[in-house]
Structure 1
Amino acid sequence: MSRLHPTFRSAFSSAASRLTCILPGLILCLFVALAALGLEWIEWRWTGRAWLEALVLAILLGAIVRTLWTPGDRFLSGIHFSAKYLLEAAIVLIGAMLSFDAIAASGPTLLVTIVAMVLLSIATGYVIARILGLPKRLATLIACGNAICGNSAIAAVAPAIGARGEEVAAAISFTAILGIAVVLTLPFVGGWLGMTAQGYGVFAGLTVYAVPQVLAAASPFSPLSVQVGTLVKLVRVLMLGPVVFCFSLIAGRNTEPECLAGKHRRSHLATILHFVPWFILGFLAVAIARNSGVIPDAVATGAVKVSTWLTVVAMAALGLEVDIRALANSGPRASAAAMLSLLVLCILSALAIACFGLG
């Protein structure tokens, strides 16, 4: 036993060092999240409803703080930890609120629509970017970012098409800003169009960039909107693997861009597996356990509450990673291409929901 002591001591020291590293940023995210929850409470107290949910308020407050004050290096690890790991844990727990019966009502039409919308969005986004005079690789990155999952899609597709570092940087610069804009405006659009809770969930899942942003955009409607939106979004994310594989085949190579120089080259299969997040599998596993009765109602209710708290903290972290002034650095043509592509995606999604009876 005595020989194990140094091992335990080393592990404890490493864990303590890691905690010390993330603590300042984590505390900052918690303060922003508490402020968002406080503002939501004030809304309920004064108006009888939350016009802006805590999820949205956390993003806004975080972005305002980040724009007015740039957190120092000691905060960055904790902010990244909150934005990534707390969020991934929250997404897994959301599986406890997913009802397969509600999703099954849409039938295979929903799945076909998601796949078709991703492919159509890539095509239209690429054409729009090329019409605006953007280079082929930058146009491809912007189109894939809009169609699938923002920065993650851009990062995944970049090595498949041999994109340069400056092209990747230009493509990802608009994602966070437009993502927040969509989160804020989409509930009003859904209400104006008279969408049902399920229809709006499909709409949010088809148009919003990232999974956490889907949660923020769908929550003002209903829990059903969150369930449907999350599932639709996760199916979109799963499209990333096949899309990367296809672009790798089209390019005829797996050249690493400058921004990824020094990393080992991956095979097509390894690239696909690398960009299929673990939390998708966790989300599905929890959802299956919940719908099969393995997870009881009381545990599921507690899991959803914990997920909500974790998501608000993660929203604060995502906001703290956004500098609104960065939009000016993305270039007018890239910004116009991204906004027009997103607008087309919203229009196509609304038409698909209406035509195929998904809402």
Structure 2
Amino acid sequence: MNIKKIIPGFIVCSVIAYIGTVLGGIFPKLGGASFAIILGIILGNTLVKSDKFAAGSVFSESNLLSYSIVLLGGTLNIYSVFSVGVKGVSFIIIQMMITVAASIWIGKKMKFKKKFTYLMGSGNAVCGSSAIGAVSPVVKPEQNDLGISITIVNLVGTVLMFLLPFTSRVIFHGDTVMTSALIGGILQSVGQVIGAGQLVNNEVLQLATIFKIIRIIFIVVLVSYLGKKVAKDSKLAKIEKEVEIEVEVEVNETTLEETKKRGFKKLNIPWYITGFFIFTTLKTLGVFNGDLSNIFHSISSKFEIIALAGIGMRVKFSTLFSQGPKALTYGLIIGVVQVVAAVALIELMYGLSF
């Protein structure tokens, strides 16, 4: 690690993050994260687009986001899961599965690259930019795909943050549990959940946050799943190149079966996911008290915003303009699927009539 090369870009990312945080305080419904990545994109394509800032932006987007995820684990208590009951946990699991599956399927139909669909599925299913950052080391996407996915997920989440409270009033008539499930089960970031909850009432804010926490806890499962899926994709791609067309039919079944066995035997979980789980366990056992958890949360949030600034700096306007409209349409379709699926599941599980 060359510190001298990192410092210029890191300083720029930190300044962008600070400005984003200030703007987020002025416009809390949007949040510092949204401003950080937008400012990063603008400045990274204008005033600070020099290569001398590249090393620092890479460090910010990768290392700091990993540290942020570990620290986030120290703020979560596994026992929070039990407060929403079996129905609540089941709703979250099914909703996440639908979101990931729909993202991959829709993305395939729209001819997006597999790795980009994995990022979109992760960001929408779990916790926005944090989830995308968590899965990116196992997915190993192209740099522009990483930035665009985070931008689109944050943008769609911001739109839904204002729409879901109104939607819940119309459909669920102010029911606390169902409104909380809708908000906590769909919105991408914790800040968006809190913002939407504040538009309803304090009870919804608290319960929606717990639904959100459950989704974050399942990030470990998602990373494990995508790690296996990417490994399988890679092996199957090699098989397709190596196997002769004439004998493909004969060897395909055996080869695929062997590939599945090898892929599922080897599970390569990134260090920060292990750290996340350890910190969550320590928090649950009471090793981390409230004050320490608050410190973890504060540092984690700062690291995440600096990382988002770094990611924004590495998104090029040319790529965003060429792929952005199509990607935005993709993100909006996923958002619609999430809302429809969530309303249907809540209706089915909790039995509220329209």
Question: TM-score higher than 0.5 here?
Answer: yes
Q: SS at the partner of 1:193?
A: helix
1:190 is the counterpart of 2:180: no
**Cα distance, 1:240 vs structure 2:** 4.4
Question: Structure 1 303/119 Cα, relative in aligned 2: closer, same or farther at 3 Å?
Answer: closer
Distance 1:338 1:356 in 2: 27
**Cα distance, 1:320 vs structure 2:** 2.0
Q: SS at the partner of 2:236?
A: coil
Corresponding residue number in structure 2 for 1:241: 224
1:79 is the counterpart of 2:62: no
Corresponding residue number in structure 2 for 1:61: 39
Distance 1:321 1:171 in 2: 10
Q: SS at the partner of 1:97?
A: coil
Distance 2:3 2:206 in 1: 34
Which residue of 263, 272, 291 maps to 1:268? 263
Q: SS at the partner of 1:330?
A: helix
**Cα distance, 1:109 vs structure 2:** 4.1
Q: SS at the partner of 2:238?
A: coil
Q: TM-score, length-normalised on structure 1?
A: 0.67
**Cα distance, 1:73 vs structure 2:** 1.7
Corresponding residue number in structure 2 for 1:218: 193
Q: SS at the partner of 2:49?
A: coil
Distance 2:282 2:105 in 1: 43
Question: Structure 1 271/23 Cα, relative in aligned 2: closer, same or farther at 3 Å?
Answer: farther
Distance 1:331 1:319 in 2: 14
Distance 2:146 2:237 in 1: 21
Decide whether the 8 Å contact of 2:44 with 2:313 is kept in 1: yes
Corresponding residue number in structure 2 for 1:103: 81
Decide whether the 8 Å contact of 2:180 with 2:207 is kept in 1: no
Corresponding residue number in structure 2 for 1:46: none
Distance 2:97 2:281 in 1: 28
Q: Structure 1: which 5+ runs fail to align?
A: 1-16, 44-48, 159-164, 209-213, 259-264
1:37 is the counterpart of 2:32: no
1:352 is the counterpart of 2:336: no
**Cα distance, 1:184 vs structure 2:** 2.4
Corresponding residue number in structure 1 for 2:302: 309
Distance 2:136 2:68 in 1: 24
**Cα distance, 1:323 vs structure 2:** 3.4
Q: SS at the partner of 2:218?
A: helix
Which residue of 255, 271, 275 maps to 1:282? 275
Corresponding residue number in structure 2 for 1:146: 120
Question: Structure 1 207/305 Cα, relative in aligned 2: closer, same or farther at 3 Å?
Answer: closer
Distance 2:308 2:181 in 1: 19
2:192 alignment partner AA: A
**Cα distance, 1:27 vs structure 2:** 0.2
Corresponding residue number in structure 1 for 2:127: none
**Cα distance, 1:307 vs structure 2:** 2.0
Percent identity reads 18
| Deviation by residue 1:159-193 (Cα, 9 ceiling, x = unmatched) | xxxxxx9xx79976852431231242232133323
**Cα distance, 1:78 vs structure 2:** 1.0
Q: SS at the partner of 2:159?
A: helix
Aligned pairs, how many?
Answer: 311
Decide whether the 8 Å contact of 2:224 with 2:267 is kept in 1: yes
Question: Structure 1 207/302 Cα, relative in aligned 2: closer, same or farther at 3 Å?
Answer: closer
Deviates more, 1:74-83 or 1:332-341: 332-341
Distance 2:100 2:312 in 1: 27
Distance 1:118 1:244 in 2: 17
2:14 alignment partner AA: L
**Cα distance, 1:22 vs structure 2:** 0.8
| Deviation by residue 1:257-314 (Cα, 9 ceiling, x = unmatched) | 99xxxxxx995258741xx332222222112212211122322222222222222222
**Cα distance, 1:39 vs structure 2:** 2.5
Question: Structure 1 184/125 Cα, relative in aligned 2: closer, same or farther at 3 Å?
Answer: closer
Distance 1:187 1:241 in 2: 29
Q: Structure 2: which 5+ runs fail to align?
A: 124-131, 169-173, 198-204, 242-258
Decide whether the 8 Å contact of 1:205 with 1:231 is kept in 2: no
**Cα distance, 1:23 vs structure 2:** 0.5
Q: SS at the partner of 1:298?
A: helix
Question: Structure 1 76/346 Cα, relative in aligned 2: closer, same or farther at 3 Å?
Answer: farther
Distance 1:154 1:297 in 2: 30
Question: Structure 1 326/253 Cα, relative in aligned 2: closer, same or farther at 3 Å?
Answer: closer
Distance 1:204 1:239 in 2: 18
Distance 1:309 1:39 in 2: 14
Decide whether the 8 Å contact of 2:68 with 2:304 is kept in 1: yes
Decide whether the 8 Å contact of 1:36 with 1:55 is kept in 2: yes
Corresponding residue number in structure 2 for 1:23: 7
| Deviation by residue 1:105-132 (Cα, 9 ceiling, x = unmatched) | 2344455444434543455445545665
Question: Structure 1 326/176 Cα, relative in aligned 2: closer, same or farther at 3 Å?
Answer: farther
Corresponding residue number in structure 1 for 2:247: none
1:268 alignment partner AA: G
Aligned-pair Cα RMSD in Å: 4.2
Distance 1:18 1:169 in 2: 21
